[in-house]
């Protein structure tokens, strides 16, 4: 099952979309900080821009869905769940070993796997 789910062209597209989204997120944040924007404004703008790129990329390229209001709502539910998963990993790593970054690094592949499976079987699945 792992090979059939994750070792595919579609999964590689998914990972590429994640990298692109991260570049948009961090790039816009750095650009805004350089232009004098506040930290939280720059962080939030980068996050929202990355999120929009991520959704559009996966809707069109990874899953060939085109997107819809329902798909966007499902996507945002998965984003919220993945955020909570990340917080749990960071919190656990902090509590167990005082290594919050280790928790963040542990969360990254978990979040990617959850996002991909949810995208393929729920978010962008024709309703």
Distance CA 53, CA 36 (A): 24
> For the segment 96-117, what is each residue's pLDDT rounded down to a tens digit?
999 999 999 999 999 999 999 9
Task: Report the pLDDT value the prediction gives residue 127, as an integer from 0 to 100.
Answer: 65
In the chain, where are the structural domains located?
1-62, 67-127
**Which residue has 């919220």 as its token pair?**
80
Instruction: Report whether pLDDT(32) > 80.
Output: yes
- Per-residue confidence at 75, pLDDT binned at 50, 70, 90? very high
Instruction: State pTM to two decimals.
Output: 0.84
User: Packing angle between helix 100-118 and helix 69-97, nearest 10 degrees?
Assistant: 150
Whether the CA torsion 13, 14, 19, 20 is positive or negative: it is positive
In the chain, % of residues over pLDDT 70: 96
Distance CA 14, CA 81 (A): 18
Task: Report the pLDDT value the prediction gives residue 125, as an integer from 0 to 100.
Answer: 85
Instruction: Report whether pLDDT(66) > 90.
Output: no
Task: Provide the residue count of the chain.
Answer: 127
Task: Report the pLDDT value the prediction gives residue 55, as an integer from 0 to 100.
Answer: 96
Arithmetic mean of pLDDT over the chain? 92
Task: Report the pLDDT value the prediction gives residue 7, as an integer from 0 to 100.
Answer: 81
**Phi, psi dihedrals of residue 125, rounded to the nearest 5°:** -75, 130
- Per-residue confidence at 53, pLDDT binned at 50, 70, 90? very high
């Amino acid at each position: 099952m792992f090979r059939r789910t994750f070792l595919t062209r579609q999964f590689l597209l998914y990972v590429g979309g994640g990298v692109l989204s991260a570049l948009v997120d961090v790039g816009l944040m750095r650009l805004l900080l350089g232009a004098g924007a506040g930290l939280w404004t720059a962080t939030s703008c980068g996050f929202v821009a990355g999120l929009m790129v991520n959704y559009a990329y996966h809707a069109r390229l990874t899953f060939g869905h085109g997107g819809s209001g329902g798909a966007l709502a499902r996507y945002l539910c998965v984003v919220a769940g993945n955020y909570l998963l990340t917080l749990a990993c960071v919190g656990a790593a902090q509590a167990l070993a005082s290594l919050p970054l280790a928790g963040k690094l542990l969360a990254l592949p978990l979040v990617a796997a959850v996002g991909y499976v949810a995208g393929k079987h729920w978010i962008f699945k024709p309703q």
